[in-house]
Amino acid sequence: MNALAARLEGHAQELVRESLEAMYRDPFWLDRFGERGRDFARADGLYHLTYLATALSIGGTGTLENYARWLQTVLTTRGMCTLHIEENFARLAEAIRARGLDEQGVAQRYLAAASAALRYRGSGKGLQAATSRLGAKAAEGMSPDRLREAMALSSFLADAVALCVTTSFVGHVAWLRAHHGRTGAGADLVPRMLERLAASVPELPELTAEERAAALQAISAATEMR
* Mean per-residue pLDDT over the chain, rounded: 95
Half-sphere exposure of residue 117: CA atoms within 13 angstroms, side-chain side: 21
Find, among 36, 105, 29, 120, the residue nearest to 72 by Cα. 120
pLDDT tens per residue, range 78-134: 999 999 999 999 999 999 999 999 989 999 999 999 999 999 999 999 999 999 999
CA separation for the pair 194, 223 (Å, rounded) = 7
Sequence-distant (6+) residues with CB within 8 A of 122 are 162
Q: What percent of the chain has pLDDT over 90?
A: 93
Q: Which residues contact 65 (CB under 8 A, 6 or more apart)?
A: 113, 114, 116, 117
For the chain, give the percent of residues with pLDDT over 70.
99
Nearest Cα residue to 36 out of 71, 78, 3, 72: 78
Q: Are 40 and 84 in contact (CB under 8 A)?
A: no
The per-residue pLDDT for range 48-81, each reduced to its tens digit, is 999 999 999 999 999 999 999 999 999 999 999 9
For the stretch 172-182, pLDDT in tens is 999 999 999 99
Which residues lie closer than 8 Å to 178 by C-beta, 6 or more apart?
none
- Is 0.85 surpassed by the pTM of this model? yes
Give the pLDDT band of residue 167 (cuts 50, 70, 90).
very high
- Asked whether 55 and 63 are in contact (CB, 8 A), the reply is yes
Distance between the two ends of the chain, CA-based, in angstroms? 54
Q: What integer pLDDT is reported at residue 20 of this predicted model?
A: 96
Residue 226 is predicted with a pLDDT of 62
pLDDT over 90 at 225, yes or no: no
Q: Do residues 106 and 56 make contact, with C-beta atoms less than 8 angstroms apart? A: yes
Split at pLDDT 50, 70, 90, the class of 186 is confident
Q: Provide the residue count of the chain.
A: 226
Give the integer Cα–Cα distance in Å for 196 and 20: 32
Using the 8-state DSSP alphabet, how is residue 143 labeled? -
Q: Is the pLDDT of residue 1 over 90?
A: no
